[in-house]
């Protein structure tokens, strides 16, 4: 299975498992969207990738083989997936154990707290320009909301991959730790945040504008850049 889920110590853990880089195709995107949609609102969630990558974004080989209709469906599915992830009311933690590129980094931006590897070899970026795959409307809005304008310009237009410490310095990642400790740290943060009595109410306040924007993009059913 490309996507796995388990319940561990009261925390739902969803793992992207598509070696070697956990790039996601249309099937995996829809699977993630379904899991996020059906997630128990009482449970905190940890999202991780298997192996040495978190998620390398869209599977460009699969994308290249898709018809225009399938590419449009994929863009719609990505926006739908991000909407359901953002809409989870409880704590959502990213356990970023390795490379997170393109849609993989967008997934981390949908989470409430981001624990990332301190491995200097891991790379993170928004490389859609170089890959030839434009941003779907949902991720476009997420990036605009979550990344300050100068950094957003730099990451998107240069397609430069940066280190986890660089993103931590810009508060895109909340905490860095060793690869061996990431999952345990993410689980601990998920359980800790879930004890905060006002977490869900405050999250609704802070996230509402973005959720509404992605909801509108999803319901429009229009992904003009993916029509050809």
How far apart are the C-alpha atoms of 199 and 81, rounded to whole Å? 22
Q: What is the pTM of this model?
A: 0.96
CA dihedral 128, 91, 54, 157 (to 10 degrees): 20
pLDDT of residue 227 exceeding 70, the answer is no
Would you mind telling me the total number of residues written for the chain in this entry? 228
CATH superfamily name and code, 3-226: 2-enoyl-CoA Hydratase; Chain A, domain 1 (3.90.226.10)
pLDDT of residue 90 exceeding 80, the answer is yes
DSSP assignment letter at 24: B
Interhelix angle 26-37/68-86, rounded to 10 degrees, is 30
Give residue-wise pLDDT tens across range 11-37. 999 999 999 999 999 999 999 999 999
| pLDDT bracket for residue 223 (50, 70, 90) | confident
Average confidence score pLDDT of the chain: 95
The helix or strand, by DSSP H or E, that contains position 85, with its residue range, turns out to be: helix 68-86
Cβ(186)–Cβ(46) below 8 Å: yes
Over the range 170-205, which residues count as b (16 or more CB within 10 Å of their CB) and which as e? eebbbbbbeeeebbebbbebbbebbeeeebbeebee
Give residue-wise pLDDT tens across range 32-68. 999 999 999 999 999 999 999 999 999 989 999 999 9
DSSP assignment letter at 107: H
Coarse DSSP helix, strand, coil percentages of the chain, rounded to the nearest 5 percent: 50, 20, 30
To which residue do tokens 């990642």 refer? Answer: 173
Is residue 77 helix, strand or coil?
A: helix
For 151, counting Cβ atoms within 10 Å of its Cβ (0-12 exposed, 13-18 middle, 19+ buried), the class is middle
Give residue-wise pLDDT tens across range 98-148. 999 999 999 999 999 999 999 999 999 999 999 888 899 999 999 999 999
| pLDDT bracket for residue 1 (50, 70, 90) | confident
**CA distances, 85 to each of 28, 53, 226 (Å):** 14, 20, 22
How far apart are the C-alpha atoms of 88 and 214, rounded to whole Å? 14
């Amino acid at each position: 299975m490309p996507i796995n889920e388990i319940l561990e110590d009261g925390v739902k853990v969803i793992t992207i498992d598509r070696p070697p880089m956990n790039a996601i195709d249309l099937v995996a995107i829809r699977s993630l969207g379904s899991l996020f949609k059906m997630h128990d609102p009482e449970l905190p969630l940890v999202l991780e990738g298997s192996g040495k990558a978190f998620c390398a974004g869209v599977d460009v080989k699969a994308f290249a083989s898709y018809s225009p209709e399938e590419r449009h469906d994929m863009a719609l599915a990505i926006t739908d997936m991000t909407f359901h992830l953002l809409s989870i009311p409880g704590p959502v933690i990213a356990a970023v154990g390795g490379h997170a590129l393109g849609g993989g980094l967008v997934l981390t931006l949908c989470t409430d707290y981001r624990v990332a590897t301190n491995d200097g070899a891991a790379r993170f970026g928004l490389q859609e320009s170089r890959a030839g795959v434009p941003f779907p409307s949902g991720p476009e809005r997420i990036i605009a909301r979550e990344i300050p304008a100068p950094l957003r310009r730099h990451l998107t237009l240069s397609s430069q991959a940066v280190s986890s410490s660089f993103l931590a310095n810009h508060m895109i990642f909340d905490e860095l730790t060793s690869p061996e400790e990431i999952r345990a740290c993410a689980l601990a943060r998920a359980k800790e945040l879930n004890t905060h009595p006002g977490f869900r109410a405050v999250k609704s306040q802070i996230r509402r504008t973005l959720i509404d924007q992605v909801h509108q993009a999803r319901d429009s059913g229009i992904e003009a850049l993916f029509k050809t």
